[in-house]
Amino acid sequence: MLCVSGRVHPAAAHQAGAAGTMIMSCAGCDKPILDKFLLNVLERTWHAECVRCYDCHGNLTDKCFSREGKLFCRNDFFR
Ligand SMILES: [Zn+2]
Ligand SMILES: [Zn+2]
């Protein structure tokens, strides 16, 4: 049974120091995202390095697959 598959959207983080800047926290590690780039996956924001396969810890740069809130690469999801 297949669940949601999400695309990884690279997005520029808001410029630090601008008035009214909201610091987003990462859905993976819960820490604030202060990097220049963040990723939108499953309508949440992540550090680029936190978007990894739960199984093999490979970076998910294009497509990711999710099951029960965990992210998987294509190989591990369809295993
Ligand atoms: Zn993170
Ligand atoms: Zn994997």
Q: Which domains, from first to last, does the chain contain?
A: 5-13+26-77 (2.10.110.10)
Largest CA distance in the chain: 47
Ligand nearest to the Cα of 70, by number: 2
DSSP letters for 4-72: -EEE-EEEEPPPTTSTTPPPPB-TTT-SB--SSEEEEETTEEEEGGG-B-TTT--B-SSEEEEETTEEE
**Residue 32: nearest ligand to its CA?**
1
Q: Cα(74) to centroid of ligand 2, in Å?
A: 7
pLDDT above 90: residue 54: yes
Residue 70 alpha carbon to ligand 2 centre in Å: 11
Which range scores top for mean pLDDT: 32-36, 42-46, 55-59?
A: 55-59
Condensed to tens digits (0 to 9), the pLDDT of residues 12-35 reads 655 444 445 678 899 989 999 988
Alpha-carbon gap, residue 69 to 13, rounded angstroms: 23
| Distance from residue 34's CA to the centre of ligand 2 (Å) | 26
State in Å: Cα 6 to ligand 2 middle.
15
